[in-house]
Structure 1
Amino acid sequence: MTRPAYLQPRTLVLLILPPMMWAGNAVVGRLMVGSLPPVAMNALRWLLVGLMLMPLSMRIWGDMAAIRERWVYLAAIGVLGVGTYNAMQYLALQTSTPLNVTLIGASVPVWMMLVGAVAYGQRLHARQFLGAALSILGVLLVIAQGQWEVLRHVRLVPGDLLMLLASLAWALYSWMLARPPAAMQGAARPDWDWAAFLQIQVLFGVIWAGLCAAVEAFMAGGVQPPVWPATWSTWAAMIFIAVGPSILAYRCWGLGVQAVGPTMASFFGNLTAIFAALWSAIFLGQHPRWYHPVALLLITAGIAVSSASTRQVRNGAGHDEA
């Protein structure tokens, strides 16, 4: 009997490696607190990615006319994905833990549902509201650190709030990828492979990230870490997040989603919090509290309920919902 696509060893590797890398990115981001300013760290990360992608994406330099024609869309996804989401994640890690950041990041499907309803006219159903409620309850449990009176006194960790905003930015980015303009659909879409398309996003994202890093340096007034890695360990960390969570995870995730679809892949994405707990315990000495697995179960249940609703709508009504 043929095994489902997501049980094939190659597919499992493709879907498990990205959350492992993304969790490592969160832990490294926490370890780098005090070594590099967070926004400058994001700019340097993607500058390194752009340099590494050069040999794989040389074709874009001969296709500048196509980029100019679509620059508004390309700049928007570059700013949201490369320039904003990752910078806000590193900012969040200044005051929050990798486990909190990855758990709150697991609420992205809820934000995607809300963005879809508000900006793209996606119809919402009862099961999706239930799924959203479960996921939001899980996020609130993390923010409250298992003590609901924390919410009553509005004693919120700044990093957790920043990660909520980062999740919203990622939801906007994801919808823009799922519903591109006509110039990026079908035969009108330029013949860009994964490396070329990522490189274009990086080009626009690095410009924005560099401007934000300059603002960060100006606001700090000189009382911040150097904007350039000063030790070999810092350089090693930067190379890891450029190669692993950026290039390798991006490529593996794209192939995995092609194999099993975005709904099934989203469940593997929730492994990020599991790996974050493991890496945090090993490298940071930060062990999970009782509310972390409970929150993960709530968030996962919410996504499962919402996904089941989406599948029913697709199968029953026959119209497309992202």
Structure 2
Amino acid sequence: MNAPLKPSTAAMLSLAPALWAGNAIVGRLAQDLISPFALNFFRWGIAFVLLLPLAWHVLRKDSPIWPMWRQFMLLGLLGIGCYNALLYLALKTSTPLNVTLVGSSMPVWMLAIGSLCWGIPVNRKQIAGAVLSVLGVVVVLSRGDLQTLLNLHFVAGDLFMVLATIAWAFYTWLLSRSTGPQEVKSHWASFLMAQMVFGLLWSGLFMGGEAALGGFRFVMGWPLLATLLFIAIGPAILAYRFWGLGVQRSTPAIAGFFGNLIPIFTALLSVAVLGESPHIYHGVAFALIVAGIVVSSRR
């Protein structure tokens, strides 16, 4: 049976979606300043520089990460190279409403991948929690109006978001089952740096393909610099730290339910950043998502 979810663990798994909600809003606002794959590359490039004072030893020739390069290459591909790059790309051709709706399938993918790839059993409470959580996201996305859902039209960007969600589900499971060197895993900055070393290779490769296809854009200025600093410190370094700790202290399946808090935090941040007013359905959706978390994590 699962151990009860501690308040500190719940706080960590909630702070990460809050920061990622800010990432979605800022990433949307920066579309005219920088192309999607370039945004992902420079984001992690800045995070890499900021973490050097804490984890420079990971880059030494005798570092224990090099013999396990395949494992870190895969983690870097899924968590750093793919997820946010696909998210930024999805926002170019799809609407935030559709992208968030597709992303709300995270708990389902978490449970399915855990069961199919690692034989993790799925119980009724987890299924019930997934249903409640997805219903909460549907409420906030439909704005309490069924007709809004009936009028949705899916485009190529929605497929990119499906791929992003699957990539993140695999990343989270691999994160919890990683067998990397203990001296690296026990130090959060070192473990994240080990992923970034290889993730930057993937991100640079994707940005190179973007440039080759004529899609590269980089408008230098204070707005772009402020954007890059925010998403490097908050959604990158801090959020990945909180998420990693939360996954280690709970389970990937439970963490997947907290991912559905992203659209709720996005709605709340929109009030402050975009001047939108909160509605009753925001409270209903929040209650459903929290209920899904509680039900799925109970003994």
Give TM-score scaled by structure 1 length: 0.75
Deviation string, structure 1 residues 21-67 (Cα, Å, up to 9, x no partner): 22211110111112111111001101111111111112112354632
The corresponding residue for 1:214 is 208
The corresponding residue for 1:233 is 223
The corresponding residue for 1:195 is 189
Query: Which whole-Å CA distance do the structure 1 matches of 2:193 and 2:55 have between them?
Result: 7
Q: Report the AA paired with residue 236 of structure 1.
A: A
The corresponding residue for 1:41 is 39
In 2 relative to 1, CA 136–86 (structure 1 residues): closer, same or farther, beyond 3 Å? same
User: Residue 274 of structure 1: which of 253, 264, 279 is its match?
Assistant: 264
Unaligned stretches of 5+ residues in structure 2: none
In 2 relative to 1, CA 235–286 (structure 1 residues): closer, same or farther, beyond 3 Å? same
The corresponding residue for 2:175 is 177
In 2 relative to 1, CA 290–38 (structure 1 residues): closer, same or farther, beyond 3 Å? farther
In 2 relative to 1, CA 57–76 (structure 1 residues): closer, same or farther, beyond 3 Å? same
Query: Which whole-Å CA distance do the structure 2 matches of 1:172 and 1:145 have between them?
Result: 30
The corresponding residue for 2:7 is 6
Query: Which whole-Å CA distance do the structure 2 matches of 1:296 and 1:77 have between them?
Result: 31
Query: Which whole-Å CA distance do the structure 2 matches of 1:167 and 1:18 have between them?
Result: 16
Percent identity of paired positions between Structure 1 and Structure 2 = 45
Deviation at 1:235, TM superposition (A): 0.6
**Do 2:98 and 2:154's aligned partners in 1 also have CA atoms closer than 8 Å?**
no
Of residues 70-79 and 246-255 in structure 1, the stretch that sits farther from structure 2 once superposed is 246-255
**Do 2:78 and 2:168's aligned partners in 1 also have CA atoms closer than 8 Å?**
yes
Query: Which whole-Å CA distance do the structure 2 matches of 1:17 and 1:296 have between them?
Result: 15
**Do 2:106 and 2:260's aligned partners in 1 also have CA atoms closer than 8 Å?**
no
Deviation string, structure 1 residues 137-172 (Cα, Å, up to 9, x no partner): 455566767665677777225544433332211110
Secondary structure, aligned partner of 1:75: helix
Query: Which whole-Å CA distance do the structure 2 matches of 1:160 and 1:298 have between them?
Result: 24
What do you get for the CA RMSD once the two structures are aligned?
3.4
User: Residue 27 of structure 1: which of 6, 10, 25 is its match?
Assistant: 25
The corresponding residue for 2:66 is 68
Secondary structure, aligned partner of 1:124: coil
Deviation at 1:121, TM superposition (A): 0.9
The corresponding residue for 1:316 is none
**Do 2:48 and 2:193's aligned partners in 1 also have CA atoms closer than 8 Å?**
yes
Q: Report the AA paired with residue 231 of structure 1.
A: G
**Do 1:143 and 1:160's aligned partners in 2 also have CA atoms closer than 8 Å?**
no
In 2 relative to 1, CA 269–117 (structure 1 residues): closer, same or farther, beyond 3 Å? closer
Deviation string, structure 1 residues 180-224 (Cα, Å, up to 9, x no partner): 24xx2xxxx2411111111111111111111111222233x3xx4
The corresponding residue for 2:95 is 96
Query: Which whole-Å CA distance do the structure 2 matches of 1:168 and 1:81 have between them?
Result: 11
Query: Which whole-Å CA distance do the structure 1 matches of 2:125 and 2:11 have between them?
Result: 31
**Do 2:101 and 2:138's aligned partners in 1 also have CA atoms closer than 8 Å?**
no
Query: Which whole-Å CA distance do the structure 2 matches of 1:153 and 1:14 have between them?
Result: 36
**Do 1:100 and 1:142's aligned partners in 2 also have CA atoms closer than 8 Å?**
no
Of residues 140-149 and 244-253 in structure 1, the stretch that sits farther from structure 2 once superposed is 140-149
